[in-house]
Chains A and B, each alone.
Chain A
């Protein structure tokens, strides 16, 4: 039996290691798929193509988590311009100033140790706001 391809998560993380935010494009559904998987949830097809996002997106929803210990921090859902949504956070501005509609740009975050890199976002210069 043919061995299936590399795990989607491993490919995603390998791209992040290179500083890229990768997502899948379903050739059957003609739309983006995220999180990465072995088949397209819209069609069932396994014709999924890896693409690299341009890195621009818009804050769709936002919250500030107030932990019992430590500083409050942002958690947001980001709509990337290519048509997929992911959980992330917006950095470089105070967490309570992250607004829905804020245009943001991808930046890779490398936590170090054995932790894989993950995508965060910062306000996109000169991009204004979208609702």
Chain B
């Protein structure tokens, strides 16, 4: 066997935990467990069926131990890979490999964060980097701001282009009852919002919320016998290009170019075959960079591409249909929520924001400061 097989595993359950600002005293493992319970209920499996456990959080040093103990599990397969917000896309590939190798039969991937309740600094303690910390970059925002400054310089991308990403996300969020933001947003409001790190205002930056969730994965055979239509993993790709922004090889090209290419190759698909995109929008520049690097427009053309509502509801390309990290929720490491929304779109469960005739979805995770990139392409039973 050479690499993972297209359609070799399926996501059968998906659910969020409580989101936004959760009840006082709930901890990240409570939220993971809530997500696991709801995701198992979603597919009709029980805790005793679970023999694979994958999770990550910045709020527990050994979250795999904590979650296994909490759930009363002694899993045959466990993976707590943590590479920032994209960790859960890495987990999907690892779970598929474990399922294919027979190391486990039912795997859950879980996340939980109470960063809004406890404060971002406490939820995610930033390590001292003697080559960066003295300059007081406001991380992660300043790192993305530096990348944005370079994109604007090289390609003429404007603050209005960045704002168009935030406005599109808000329009989608208004169609999602679970979204944190409930009011419309205009380009002018994004531009006039308090500056965080130029060129990014607070409206160019993701929310700071609590939240968690889980997805359940199993083999294709088992998936077909469960109560909801399975969502098949068609393609996976991952890469890491750096850890700190001063070591990013090219500030305008992310590792999504590699992770996307690998995922497309495994899936046998091209960008034109993708019906809905869920892209990790920690900052508005992310969406522009990922649309370019994942092949939806040429390098440098992401700004004009997102202008005029192209990625908003009613536009030609549906992107971040849950409202994204910018307007729906962003509890620290957001990648799992992209997968949950992709599953809902492929099942036709997305109500007012449902994309018509949705057979394929691309969920792209980002971690660190554009550091880790991981792409997962999913499809309905009709695509395998």
Contacts and interface: CB of A to CB of B under 8 A. Distances in A.
Interface of A: 9, 13, 35, 60-67, 72-73, 75-77, 85-89, 96, 100-101, 111, 115-116, 118
Given A75-B142, A77-B245, A86-B131, A61 B150 contact: yes
A87 B149 contact: no
A63 B138 CA distance: 10
Contacts of B136: 65, 73, 75
A100 B149 contact: yes
Contact of A111 (B134, B146, B199, B251): B134
Given A61-B153, A65-B136, A100-B149, 15 more contacts: A9-B130, A13-B130, A62-B146, A63-B145, A65-B138, A66-B195, A66-B197, A67-B138, A75-B137, A77-B146, A77-B246, A85-B246, A87-B137, A87-B244, A100-B153
Which residue among A75, A88, A101, A116 has the maximum number of chain B CB atoms within 10 Å of its CB?
Answer: A75
Contacts of B198: 63-64, 66, 96
Given A9-B130, A61-B147, A116-B130, A66 B135 contact: no
A13 B131 CA distance: 10
A18 B279 CA distance: 47
B97 interface: no
B86 to A, nearest CB: 22
B314 interface: no
B134 A75 contact: no
Interface residues on B, range: 20 to 34
Contacts of B381: none
A118 to B, nearest CB: 4
Given A9-B130, A63-B198, A100-B153, A87 B245 contact: yes
A86 B194 contact: no
Contacts of A118: 134-135
Nearest to B249: A85
A75 to B, nearest CB: 5
B132 interface: yes
Nearest to B148: A63
A80 B134 CA distance: 19
Which residue among A67, A77, A89, A101 has the maximum number of chain B CB atoms within 10 Å of its CB?
Answer: A77
Which residue among B131, B195, B247 has the maximum number of chain A CB atoms within 10 Å of its CB?
Answer: B131
A44 to B, nearest CB: 17
A61 B370 CA distance: 15
Nearest to A67: B138
Nearest to A41: B247
9 contacts: A9-B130, A63-B137, A66-B196, A66-B197, A73-B136, A77-B246, A87-B244, A87-B245, A100-B150
